[in-house]
Amino acid sequence: MGAGNDKDVALEDRARIEETDPIRGIHDLESGHRPRHDATEHTVCHQLRLALRSMTANHYGFDTLAIHAGQDPDPRTGAVVPPIYQTSTYAQDAVGAPRLGYEYSRSSNPTRDALQECLAAIEGGRRGLAFASGLSAEDTLLRTVCRPGDHVVIPDDAYGGTFRLFSKVLENWGLDWTAVPLENLDAVRAAFRPGHTRLIWAETPTNPLLNVADIAALAGLAHEYDAMLVVDNTFASPYLQQPITLGADVVVHSTTKYLGGHSDVVGGALITATDDLGDQLAFHQNAMGGVNGPFDAWLTLRGIKTLGVRMERHCDNAERIVGFLREHPAVAGVLYPGLEDHPGHEVAAKQMQRFGGMVSFRAAGGPEQAIAICNKTKLFVLAESLGGVESLIEHPGQMTHLSAAGSALEVPADLVRLSVGIETVDDLLADLEQALG
């Protein structure tokens, strides 16, 4: 039999395998057991993976998806951890025939693809996209779905970096915005400009005041005006809250935080509710180029594997610390959605599994005492960021939210923010006791 006939038979066999057994089809595609193919191969493989995920994701628990989604053993060696494809480019089988669709690592990389599939699975979305930072993900999203002259509703206590992106960068590009308390639906509706408001940008819980917005209600309001709902889910993590299941169109993460979980990698992510929007964002991800490297993707995947067990410990420790702070005379007030007198407690209880590892409090002695507390802790490391295994403390007004000073989003000067880690909780309590004095 001639070479041409062999190729035809192989193609027929492959098509039959994919039609009758999508799981085997995926593994055969990835194992290299096929003839040369055209540039659509990567798209075909991605579509098969989507079909498989839709068939299987609902049958597995969160921790199973976190450990296995997108992370099949390597077909050549059996390695149970996805390899780090530390390469910038890929040999092609022929002109116009890249192997498995891989041409250049800005466009796609197998390690990043594994992370992106895992992100989509644990957030209950259709498409996951990984970026070099959370702000890179935000910028790509906003410049994909918005145009100059559009308008966005944002929280009146948004993360300082997000506020800076809107106020100092995208405003110059022609994107307008209005900051309102998203927990007040009447205020959100009043801020809408029909025909111009493109999306609601939500954080819940917010950074650093830990306000809670009703995701389902915001989604209904956005869709009523033919707008989109974007939810920054960084504080909650997919383990505690899945906004897409509540009606959100896009979920944003700084994967630097709870997803990575070990303060050793910077990254961001977008997860979409539809393939259509995912395809648009994937085009801009490549065109704008703000992707993460393969080693960063690998570190984030490693962190996600233990997200569930880490979040349980973060929550356990946070609840103990909240109880301690509530009784301490140096503390004027504690902000935590798990408290029954928190104004967003009922909504948080409805849409979150637990209430998270972030705690903010106000110093009874005012701004000077707040700064002194931050400077006195020993186990709580004075540092920006959050969501790592180690506990962090910061003064938002002079650190993470300094860019909001003098604006409507300025945070109280007596505010202290804790990212409660997974250390022995009695040691953390003792450290706070000596710092509070």
Q: Which residues are annotated as catalytic?
A: 106, 159, 232, 257
Amino acid letter, residue 227: A
How many CB atoms within 10 Å of residue 219? 23
Terminal alpha carbon distance of the chain: 86
Query: Using alpha carbons only, how large is the chain's radius of gyration in Å?
Result: 23
H-assigned helices in 246-293: 275-288
Backbone angles phi, psi at 294, to 5 degrees: -65, -35
DSSP code for 196? T
Tokens of 123: 């957030």
Alpha carbons 132 and 215: distance in angstroms, whole number: 27
Alpha carbons 394 and 419: distance in angstroms, whole number: 9
Which helix (H) or strand (E) is 127 found in, with range? Answer: strand 127-131
Tokens of 367: 């701004």
How many CB atoms within 10 Å of residue 125? 27
Tokens of 308: 């569930």
What totals of helices (H) and strands (E) does the chain contain, helices first? 17, 14
Strand-strand pairing, 151-155 and 197-203: parallel
Alpha carbons 395 and 373: distance in angstroms, whole number: 9
Strand-strand pairing, 250-254 and 228-232: parallel
DSSP reduced 3-state for 19: helix
Backbone angles phi, psi at 236, to 5 degrees: -80, -40
Tokens of 420: 């409660």
DSSP reduced 3-state for 262: coil
Cβ contact 259:128 at 8 Å = no
